[in-house]
Amino acid sequence: MDTFKILERQELRAMASPFRQQLLRTLTTPDSATGLARRFEMSRQRIGYHMRELERAGCIEITGERQRRGLKEKLYRTKPMAYVYSPPSEERLRRHDRFSWAALVNLIARALWDLVSLRRKADAEGKRLATLAIEADLYFETPTERKAFTESLVDAIEQVVRDHEKPKSDKARAFRLVVGAFPKPAQEPNHDNPKH
């Protein structure tokens, strides 16, 4: 089973270089060191060095082998992780990533990182932390029904966000809105619906 985790110091060090981050993005599809060397036009030894560091940090894993020219090549892939940088990345969620599970995991992980940092700062200053949380269970009979709900929700949120996305004065304080949805785990008891 895949696991997700916020990256710790060792993983962050291993991922520090932009090239290793590029390798991790590439290895969402399994490949070998030789294949990556061809793709990036680099020596196999140099690629191998970076991959050993990523493997040692637990960022990539072996998924199998393949025969190439009489030799066995190990195939690697990126482990599913919530990539949270220190400081966290401020890259905004792109529109085409809205339906990506990886984007949702990263968004939640970044929100957790931000909340912990803000809580510590508020505690140190003896202040309250202004937050809002909403949770609901939703039920859809068909994918079409789910899609219609998603479009209505996105339209409504975008309308409200447009009214508040730019500061009106120097006194305005920035807040981050995070919205996500995913299937409710089947093993979780549902007391509201006797059929489940």
pLDDT in tens, the chain (196 residues): 344 455 666 666 777 778 888 898 899 899 999 999 999 999 999 999 999 999 988 889 999 998 887 788 999 998 876 554 444 455 677 777 788 777 787 788 778 778 877 888 888 899 999 999 999 999 999 999 999 999 999 999 999 999 999 999 999 999 999 999 989 887 644 444 444 3
In-domain check, residue 193: no
Determine if the pTM surpasses 0.85. Answer: no
3-state secondary structure 17-70: CHHHHHHHHHCCCCECHHHHHHHHCCCHHHHHHHHHHHHHCCCEEEEEEEEECC
pLDDT value, residue 103: 76
Return d(Cα 95, Cα 149) in angstroms, integer: 17
Length of the chain counted residue by residue: 196
Tell me, yes or no, whether 142 and 102 share the same domain: yes
Q: Concatenated DSSP letters for 75-89?
A: EEEEPP-B---SSPP
> How far, in Å, are 7, 41, 46 from residue 69 at the CA level?
37, 19, 21
Tell me, yes or no, whether 99 and 158 share the same domain: yes
Domain boundary at 53, 78, 103, which?
A: 78
Return d(Cα 46, Cα 181) in angstroms, integer: 41
The domain of 152 spans 95-162
Report whether the peptide linkage leading into residue 167 is cis, meaning its omega lies within 30 degrees of zero.
Answer: no
Tell me, yes or no, whether 61 and 104 share the same domain: no
In-domain check, residue 167: no
In-domain check, residue 90: no
Alpha carbon of residue 102 to chain centroid: 4
